[in-house]
Amino acid sequence: MVTGAPAKMLDRRDELTPMLAQYVDLAEEYDDAVLLFRVGDFYKAFCETADEVARVCELTRIEREDSTGTYTACGIPVDNAAKYLDRLLDAEYRLAVADQVEDPEETNGLVDRAVTQVITPGTVVDDELLATGSNTYVACVARGSTGDAAEVCGDSDGEYGLAHVDVSTGECAATAGSLADVQEELARIAPAELLTGPDVDAGGDDLADSAMTTEYDPTVFEPDAARERLTAYADPERFRPTAATAAGALLAYAEWAQGDDGPLGHVNRVRWYDPRRSLRLDATALRGLELFETHAGGDATLFDTLDETRCALGRRRLRAWLRRPLLDRERVESRHDAVEAFAEQTLVREEVRDLLGEAYDLERLVGRVTRGRADARDLRSLHATLEAVPEIRDALADVPELADLRDSLDALADLRERIDAAIVEDPPTDITDGGVVRDGFDADLDEVRGTAREGREWVANLESAERERTGIDNLDVGYNRVHGYYIEVTNGQLEKVPDDYTRRQTLKNSERFYTPELKRREDEILGADERADRLEYELFTEVRGDVAAEAERIQGLADAVARVDALAALATAAVERNYARPELGAEGVFVEGGRHPVVERTEPEFVPNDTDLPRGTVALVTGPNMSGKSTYMRQVALCVVLAQAGSFVPAQSARLPVVDRVFTRVGASDDIAGGESTFMREMRELTDILHDATADSLVVLDEVGRGTATTDGRAIARAAVEFLHDELGSTALFATHYHDLTELADERERVRNLHFAATREGGDVTFLHRAKPGAAAASYGVEVAELAGVPNPVVERARALVAEEADADAEPADEDPGSDSAQRTLDDLGGAERGRSRGAGTVDLTDAERETLAALREVDVADTTPMEALNRLNGLQRRLEEDV
Ligand code: ADP
């Protein structure tokens, strides 16, 4: 344990110095956090906590000695704390920051300290600790009573409530559903921290994917207490009881982390939402489509590809749109309308985007303002943004399609004027030291400042006046912080000093004096300065309070600015990457010249492909490894997601349905499934899909059933296709290595075949990356071997073996005369057992050819990457060539 009070100090508790005793008390109180204890210019940690802080932050430890013993200590410099706090948060520590809550200069003895803020990975509000373009959420899961469960879900998991909040922006929402719903929703929210109620087992229930889990005071999860808490923010009646519990408990936690000052001022709204009202993407789909994270070596995500936003507000909005594409056709089309208008109006778009470049992060600013943490510079930044708003409105004025957008931008002129009248243009960061408020803003302040100014003028004139009066021509008037104003006379001139001079300080070559009038003026100036500083601070906090009172309007503006930025970004991406506006229609997925938005950017010769999938069609996609199957299938899914998010799509033209869910299972063989066999995971994912897909879903499945024996795998794949087609009626793309599945196209009305082929040019195999109707050649594995230049006898022999095996497979199943002897692939040659039963055949083989065949037999195709396959083929070919 590195959190809590150090054992060594607890042992000597009664002997500790008062300061260390204070440390131990606070460390005990915040025993699940690393206590950072303000001493002078450092946040200190002691004993084992110091060891850990020093390790994580790469700081030096020191030994601190007092009468009670020696303690290891380590300190984080307060002025430069952010980067160290960031490291501790990365290492998943909660941090309790204990500040001095009394002015040390006004206290005799020990300064009182208290924990002013608890920082956890999910409740960070400090700009320096937050990523700008994304949200940092803390989520909370609460479990309903069995009564709720029976009423709502009739489901044995019971009902769960889920709430999330971004404490930096005040965005807060809650929902409720089954365990599976909550898991899916959590994958979308991707919180940095997950708070769990009693009875919720984050690990066992697969809830906290990469989030740190926090168990907090169970009493805040008591339904009545939680509802009570929520009441300060929203009407609990609008929520399912479990959602109200989750939201109330979450807000209790967020308040506590912010120092427990009562309700969070910038959380103006807790939204109730139903995840089913947006296009659902579960964790597997988010991962497989690489929306926000790459895996398996990809270098860009869909988000990166589209992100042409200019400000943090827009960046977070675009992320949210991709995370929750719409289901409502009208809303989708209204986004498309706006994107189209921006795409067509290049000048307007560029002007607006330039202006957006100046937009300050209004959402986080509201957070700081309401917490009383915003400084004068923040207010000036708000002012600068408010100044840009009328210009943005002007730029939008000429485009009728953007009129609604323009109207949503409230320029908050009253607030802008107030800030401008109050705060100087380039204020200092420190708001307690004056220089913040403009002259003319407040009569009292002007008067006090006038007094100080007059006094200073009098002092400024004093030097010449006194030189004249005393005849001391090198007499100086000066000021220092310790002694105040003085008149300095060198030792040689001391006899000329008049009687009204009182000695203040003796230096080596001179003496310093003051006069009663100078003293009086000094008191007046310093008093006025101090009063002015105090007054300025008061005036500043008053103006900040005025801004805080407009939190909702600023949030409304932030929302509108975010929309404008996200739409202009989508238009920019559409123009620069040559996307087309999709037409929406329920008939199916029809794309001309579709491209994969991410792959096309790194693949210089990307081959566009068409898609023709009437609603309810299952397309079986065949072709060798590396021929482009999975890229194609993902591009279709991405087109649908993009369209519903409001974006144009990478295609020449597209007519797309509004789907309820996109299911994907692609590239799972590249996944390192934590602890679970790949096959088990694959089957779980398949279960989810077959359970939940509807006739309005788009299903993209890559190589189902590869992780098990061929016979089983083939059977599972076939049954899945049949189920998709016969029972679910989903529109689907289904890539398979099991070639005999392609027969289904003859048997089922809406099953089609699509294939990707390869050719040989010179000595090289070339993948055309072109989707063509029909199934791939039956034994394309052997064909690829031929294309790669494996000598004829081997290819022929391989073909014969394929045929022979197909026959052998067919024999015991006499009832199945339809089985096509040519439908075997190199996959099947991998079966070592079958290999042993084969005869030598009728072709005369050289040793090298025999070895090649043996090597081919040993290949476990299911466990071979495309690269390994190519290398192996290359090796075999070499071996054969050497033999000639
Ligand atoms: P498969 O799923 O058939 O094994 P992939 O879809 O993974 O094949 O594609 C293999 C590689 O081929 C990709 O990494 C990509 O670089 C390239 N590729 C795929 N589709 C295309 C295309 N339409 N045009 C150009 N290159 C492509």
308-412+550-577 topology per CATH: MutS, DNA mismatch repair protein; Chain A, domain 3 (1.10.1420)
Q: Is 628 labeled as ligand-binding? A: yes
**Residue 819 banded pLDDT, cuts 50, 70, 90:** very low
Mean pLDDT of 130-134: 78
Quick one: tokens of 66? 């007092």
Question: Which residue is closest in CA terms to ligand 1's atom 9?
Answer: 628
Residue 761: predicted pLDDT: 67
Residue 808: predicted pLDDT: 66
Quick one: tokens of 225? 């207490």
Whether pLDDT at 192 is above 60:
yes
Mean pLDDT of 651-665: 95
Q: Which alpha helices (H) appear in 2-92, and where do they start and end?
A: 7-11, 18-29, 47-57, 82-90
Lowest average pLDDT, out of 337-346, 495-504, 523-532, 753-762, goes to 753-762
- The secondary structure of residue 724, as a DSSP letter, is I
Residue 600: predicted pLDDT: 94
Q: Count each helix (H run) and each strand (E run) in the chain, helices first.
A: 31, 26
How far, in whole angstroms, is CA 567 from its chain's centroid?
A: 20
The three-class DSSP label of residue 733 is strand
In DSSP terms, 341 is beta-bridged to none
Measured between alpha carbons, how far is 178 from 195 in angstroms, rounded to an integer?
17
CB of 459 sitting under 6 A from ligand 1: no
| H or E, element range at 45 | strand 42-46
Looking at the chain, the whole-number percentage of residues with pLDDT higher than 90 is 51
Mean pLDDT of 646-659: 97
Please tell me the distance between residue 627's alpha carbon and the centre of ligand 1 in angstroms.
Answer: 6
Whether pLDDT at 811 is above 60:
no
CB of 768 sitting under 6 A from ligand 1: no
CB of 152 sitting under 6 A from ligand 1: no
The three-class DSSP label of residue 4 is coil
443-544 topology per CATH: MutS, DNA mismatch repair protein; Chain A, domain 3 (1.10.1420)
Whether pLDDT at 818 is above 90:
no
Specify the pTM. 0.80
Mean pLDDT of 111-124: 87
Q: Is 259 labeled as ligand-binding? A: no
pLDDT, tens digit, 9 for 90 and up, residues 17-52 = 888 899 999 999 888 889 999 998 899 999 989 998
CB of 799 sitting under 6 A from ligand 1: no
Residue 638: predicted pLDDT: 97
The atom number, within ligand 1, closest to the CA of 623 reads 3
Whether pLDDT at 828 is above 50:
no
Whether pLDDT at 857 is above 90:
no
Measured between alpha carbons, how far is 502 from 487 in angstroms, rounded to an integer?
10
Most confident of 155-164, 231-240, 561-570: 561-570
The three-class DSSP label of residue 444 is helix
Which one of 603, 621, 625, 784 would you pick to mutate in the ligand 1 pocket, going by the greatest count of ligand atoms within 8 A of its CB? 603
Residue 712: predicted pLDDT: 83
Please tell me the distance between residue 348's alpha carbon and the centre of ligand 1 in angstroms.
Answer: 38
Task: Let me know: does 779 contact 773? Beta carbons within 8 Å.
Answer: no
Report the 10 Å Cβ neighbour count for 389.
20
Please tell me the distance between residue 679's alpha carbon and the centre of ligand 1 in angstroms.
Answer: 24
Mean pLDDT of 571-583: 97
Mean pLDDT of 623-651: 94
Whether pLDDT at 816 is above 90:
no
Amino acid at 261: D
Measured between alpha carbons, how far is 529 from 551 in angstroms, rounded to an integer?
33
pLDDT, tens digit, 9 for 90 and up, residues 447-461 = 999 999 999 999 999
Mean pLDDT of 271-298: 86
CB of 603 sitting under 6 A from ligand 1: yes
Whether pLDDT at 668 is above 70:
no
The three-class DSSP label of residue 442 is coil
pLDDT, tens digit, 9 for 90 and up, residues 831-844 = 333 333 333 334 56
Nearest CA to 361 out of 318, 327, 314, 303 is that of 314
Q: Is 496 labeled as ligand-binding? A: no
**Residue 154 banded pLDDT, cuts 50, 70, 90:** very low
CB of 214 sitting under 6 A from ligand 1: no
- The three-state DSSP-derived secondary structure of 191-251 is CCEEEECCCCCCCCCCCCCCCEEEECCHHHHCHHHHHHHHHCCCCHHHCCHHHHHHHHHHH
Q: Is 866 labeled as ligand-binding? A: no
Whether pLDDT at 283 is above 90:
no
Residue 350: predicted pLDDT: 96
CATH 1.10.1420.10 domain span(s) along the chain = 308-412+550-577, 443-544
pLDDT, tens digit, 9 for 90 and up, residues 721-766 = 999 999 999 999 999 888 888 889 999 999 999 988 877 666 667 7
**Residue 812 banded pLDDT, cuts 50, 70, 90:** very low
Measured between alpha carbons, how far is 29 from 27 in angstroms, rounded to an integer?
5
Measured between alpha carbons, how far is 531 from 537 in angstroms, rounded to an integer?
10
Lowest average pLDDT, out of 169-178, 499-508, 848-857, goes to 848-857
CATH 3.40.1170.10 domain span(s) along the chain = 7-119
In DSSP terms, 114 is beta-bridged to 99
pLDDT, tens digit, 9 for 90 and up, residues 352-383 = 999 999 789 999 999 889 888 899 999 999 99
Measured between alpha carbons, how far is 624 from 641 in angstroms, rounded to an integer?
27
Whether pLDDT at 865 is above 90:
no
CB of 635 sitting under 6 A from ligand 1: no
Could you tell me the sign of the dihedral formed by the alpha carbons of 186, 191, 192, 193, in that order?
A: negative
pLDDT, tens digit, 9 for 90 and up, residues 756-786 = 887 766 666 778 888 888 887 766 677 777 7
Whether pLDDT at 409 is above 90:
yes
Residue 10: predicted pLDDT: 84
Mean pLDDT of 861-878: 78
Q: Which residue has the tokens 């009564």?
A: 147
Q: Which residue has the tokens 């990166």?
A: 304
Please tell me the distance between residue 773's alpha carbon and the centre of ligand 1 in angstroms.
Answer: 18
Please tell me the distance between residue 822's alpha carbon and the centre of ligand 1 in angstroms.
Answer: 26
Nearest CA to 735 out of 856, 626, 864 is that of 626
Alpha-carbon distance values, 74 to 10, 63, 101, 114 (Å): 19, 9, 21, 19
Please tell me the distance between residue 674's alpha carbon and the centre of ligand 1 in angstroms.
Answer: 27
Residue 824: predicted pLDDT: 33
CB of 625 sitting under 6 A from ligand 1: yes
Q: Which residue has the higher pLDDT, 608 or 799?
A: 608
pLDDT, tens digit, 9 for 90 and up, residues 542-567 = 999 999 999 999 999 999 999 999 99
User: What CATH number has the domain spanning 132-277?
Assistant: 3.30.420.110
Measured between alpha carbons, how far is 813 from 819 in angstroms, rounded to an integer?
9
Please tell me the distance between residue 214's alpha carbon and the centre of ligand 1 in angstroms.
Answer: 43
Whether pLDDT at 669 is above 60:
no
- The secondary structure of residue 819, as a DSSP letter, is -
Measured between alpha carbons, how far is 741 from 657 in angstroms, rounded to an integer?
27
Residue 315: predicted pLDDT: 95
Paired sense of beta strands 138-143 and 160-166, if any: antiparallel
Please tell me the distance between residue 626's alpha carbon and the centre of ligand 1 in angstroms.
Answer: 6
Residue 836: predicted pLDDT: 35
Q: Domain 583-779 classified CATH 3.40.50.300?
A: yes
Whether pLDDT at 305 is above 60:
yes
- The secondary structure of residue 705, as a DSSP letter, is T
Task: Pick 7-119's CATH classification: 3.10.20.30, 3.40.1080.20, 3.30.1490.20, 3.40.1170.10.
Answer: 3.40.1170.10
Residue 840: predicted pLDDT: 38
